[in-house]
Amino acid sequence: MSYPSDYKYSKDHEYVNVVDDTFGIVGITDHAQEQLGDVVFVELPEVGKKLEKGDVFGVVESVKAVVDCYMPVTGEIVAVNEELESQAELVNSDPHSNGWMIKIKIEDLSELDQLMDKAAYENYLQEQ
Amino acid sequence: MTAKTQFPGTSGLTLEEPLMFEKSIKDRKGYSLPDDDLPELNNDSLLPAKYVRDEISGMPELSELDVVRHFTRLSTWNYSIDHGFYPLGSCTMKYNPKINEVTAGLCGFTHLHPLTPASAAQGALEIMYRLEKYLSEISGLSAVTLQPSAGAQGELTGMLMIKAFHQSRTDSNRNIVLIPDSAHGTNPASSVIAGLTTRTLASGPDGCLDIEALTPHLNGNLAALMMTNPNTLGIFEKKAVEITKLVHDCGGLVYMDGANLNALMGIVKPGDLGVDVLHINLHKTFATPHGGGGPGSGPVAVTKTLEPFLPAPSIKIDPKGFYYFDWHRPLSIGKVHNFWGNFGVMIKAYTYIRSLGAEGIRKVSEAAVLNANYMKERLKPYFHIAYDKLCKHECIFDDSFQHQHDVSTMDIAKRLMDYGFHPPTVYFPLIVKGALMIEPTESESKDTLDQFIDAMIAISEEAKTNPERVKDSPTLPKLKRLDETKAARQTVLKWIPKSTPNA
């Protein structure tokens, strides 16, 4: 699966897709879902919660492991993907689109500059 | 492998057994009593009508034989350490000697009510007092509580004490707990429940605690470092003394997860490494049953400085040799268990320690480490090792060599069942991709280890020559290849009550 060129990527394998200039759609990358294996449960935060960059926003449980998901940038949760409640497998089948997890209002857009672009993330994966 | 290796895995007649509710026959009873010749009382005179149920619906109606066969058949589907090798890494599934059950079953113990006054329970208190002393000696720490009922509760107890210690010094900014990325998942959970905030420490390239990663956190916010030694890679934290000193110098404390004490006892005392708080899993290291056979017990040992914070009460002995509960502990974090903890488990652990003696305890660690290294060296040509160095009580392989044949750790684990072995721990620790974590324990003979090793070698061959066989396994158990993903995604509740009883 290819990595969208307009997304930003974190070292913890979360992506941010910036929409309408101030909002970010956040999920875990294809690499992350592949490492985790079959995802069976996703726990997401309450809408309205404000979280700092690096805070845990959710938990993904697969048949192999349970891992935390971290905020790639600071922001307020404005929506969560409710589809994942009944269809956690979307994280595996379509991580970069229908398997999104949260929509946030990004507090400081300049924080995005600290994330990787597609090329940098692909290099980062090579080094791993 | 040697051609003549006989593996324990076989198939035999396994009896099907439905749910109790499905076996139920209306009005069938498990007892017969003579007719009651006493006058019948009206229920209404005994209880207000609103508390009286018309009928108890949904309860299975069975004969005594139905019930006996039900549970006996279910028991034949089980696998335990008494059946065979159980190399579940990090769980220390060692043999539980039967003498422990004999002592714990003595009627003087089993008939003792927990509220019996100390004057009439001196023997029980003496056992607890002495067990505390033995654990104190083994850990190199001053004082012990026996209350926590398992390792995770021991962790919580320890973290609450660490928090109470900092607060008692009005040093309440200390709320950060550092936890290596190889730690047991209970470590961060216990810290968070204790009201502390966790930070993950990346392990160094050698799989051990990394001083470089630690250094930026050494400040006035550090409450504690939680370390596991040997760590979950089965490797001894060689820099432990240097690390505990660094943490102490900045005002923090060091918690040690003692789940892996089986590799150290009688050889290294955690107190000597600079550890302030340690929990001990009696149900691992001290050969008391666990898993479904529990309950567990997670005593916590602390330094002299932290002793005032231990749960209340503590067991003391007066100058006349009388054992009593000391409730006067103003700095104590309070009680963490009903009554005095899981007393039956304490008797078993006490028996284990007394059976072995100091020399025997040391030999346990030596044999556990020797067995794990034997396993590692013999399997090394067939399975990749992420951190290849002298290990302690367990060794971690992964599925890198089998990956090219599309055979995964899960497949290898399932195939082991066909050979008649309980699979090892899989996909933990998280820092090893596709981890297979094998802990043979000191219980097993070389013959058993060789048999298991030959099964693993056979599977590594099958992965190359007949990968489908491995991927379709297991074929011998009652239930064959189960789809754990589907089971988790689409839970099917087999029995649903026909009608809900009155609330």
Give the DSSP per-residue string, A29-66: -HHHHHHH-SEEEEE-PPTT-EE-TT-EEEEEEESS-E
* A·B CB contacts under 8 A: 22
Q: For B425, name the nearest residue in chain A, comparing CA atoms only.
A: A64
Instruction: Identify the closest residue of chain B to A62 by CA–CA distance.
Output: B485
Question: Which residues in chain B have their CB less than 8 angstroms from residue A64's CB?
Answer: 426-427
CA distance B490 to chain A (A): 9
Fold observed for domain A15-127: OB fold (Dihydrolipoamide Acetyltransferase, E2P) (2.40.50)
* Interchain CB contact of A63 with B (< 8 Å): yes
DSSP letter, residue B170: T
State whether A35 and B433 contact (CB < 8 Å).
Answer: yes
Q: Within 10 Å of residue B254's Cβ, how many Cβ atoms?
A: 25
B260: left (phi > 0), else alpha (psi -120 to 50), else beta?
alpha
Answer whether B376's CB lies under 8 Å from B395's CB.
yes
Helices then strands, counting H and E runs in chain B, come out as 16, 13
User: Is the pTM here over 0.80, yes or no?
Assistant: yes
Q: Is the pLDDT of residue A19 over 50?
A: yes
Instruction: Give the distance from residue B4's alpha carbon to the nearest chain A alpha carbon, in angstroms.
Output: 35
| Residues of chain A by 3-state class (helix, strand, coil), percent to 5 | 25, 35, 40
Contacts of B433 in chain A (CB under 8 A): 35
pLDDT < 70 regions, chain B: 1-3, 292-293, 498-503
Q: Which fold has domain B363-489?
A: Aspartate Aminotransferase, domain 1 (3.90.1150)
Distance between B388 CA and the closest CA of chain A, angstroms: 19
Nearest to B265 by CA among B379, B376, B158, B360: B360
Q: Which amino acid is at B359?
A: E
User: Are B484 and A35 within 8 A, CB to CB?
Assistant: no
Q: What is the ipTM, given to two decimal places?
A: 0.76
Nearest chain B residue (CA) to A86: B489
Angle formed at CA B56 by CA B53 and CA B62, multiple of 5 degrees: 155
Distance from CA of B485 to the nearest CA of A (A): 6
Chain B partners within 8 Å of A66 (Cβ): 185
Of B427, B433, B489, the CB nearest to A89: B489
Long-range contacts of A13-16 (CB under 8 A, 24+ apart): A14/A69, A14/A70, A14/A71, A14/A72, A15/A72, A15/A96, A16/A72, A16/A73, A16/A106, A16/A112, A16/A115
Q: Which percentage of chain A shows pLDDT scores above 90?
A: 91
pLDDT at B502: 47
A110 HSE (CA, 13 A, CB side): 0
Chain B residues touching residue A41 (CB < 8 angstroms): 488
Residue of A nearest to B427 (CA): A64
| Cα gap B434→B430, rounded to integer Å | 8
Percent of chain A with pLDDT over 70: 100
Strand partners, B145: B300
Which residues in chain B are closer than 8 Å to A65, comparing Cβ atoms?
A: 427-428, 430
Provide the CB-side half-sphere exposure for B331 (13 A, CA). Answer: 15
Q: Which of residues 456-485 of B touch A (CB under 8 A)?
A: 484-485
A36 closest CA partner among B198, B186, B485, B481 = B485
Distance CA B331, CA B312 (A): 9
For residue A38, the distance in angstroms to the closest alpha carbon of chain B comes to: 6
Residue A128: the pLDDT is 77
Q: Which two tokens stand for residue B348?
A: 């078993």
Nearest CA-CA partner of B244 in B221, B264, B270, B213: B270
Query: What's B239's DSSP letter?
Result: T
Fold designation for B99-355: Aspartate Aminotransferase; domain 2 (3.40.640)
Q: Which residue is closest to A88 within chain B, CA to CA?
A: B489
Query: Does B427 sit within 8 Å of A88, measured CB to CB?
Result: no
Is A35 near chain B, with CB under 8 Å?
A: yes
Give the pLDDT of residue B430.
Answer: 86
CA distance B428 to chain A (A): 8
With beta carbons less than 8 A apart as the criterion, state whether B362 and B266 touch.
yes
Our CA-based measurement puts residue A86 at a distance from the nearest CA of chain B, in whole angstroms, of 8
- Give the CB-side neighbour count of residue B267, counting CA atoms within 13 A: 16
Does B181 reach chain A within 8 Å, measured CB to CB?
no
Domain range annotation of chain B: 99-355, 363-489
The interface residues of chain B toward chain A in range 9-38, judged by CB-CB distance below 8 A, are none
Q: Which of B199, B190, B265, B187 is nearest to B230 (CA)?
A: B265
Q: What is the bridge-based pairing of β-strands B253-257 and B425-426?
A: unpaired
**Which residue in chain A has the smallest CA separation from B434?**
A64
Q: Other CB atoms closer than 10 Å to residue B6's CB: what's the count?
A: 9
Nearest to A88 among B410, B427, B489 (CB): B489
Sorted by where each begins, the domain ranges of chain A are 15-127
B343-361 residue pLDDT tens: 999 999 999 999 999 999 9
SS3 assignment, position B304: helix
B187 contact residues in A (CB cutoff 8 A):
none
Q: A-chain residues within 8 Å CB-CB of B413?
A: none
The beta-carbon neighbor of B427 closest among A40, A64, A88 is: A64
3-state secondary structure of A97: coil
The length of chain A is 128
A78 vs B172: which has the higher pLDDT: A78
Is any Cβ of chain B less than 8 angstroms from the Cβ of A64?
A: yes
- The pair of structure tokens assigned to B249 is 């110098």
Strands B314-317 and A56-62: unpaired
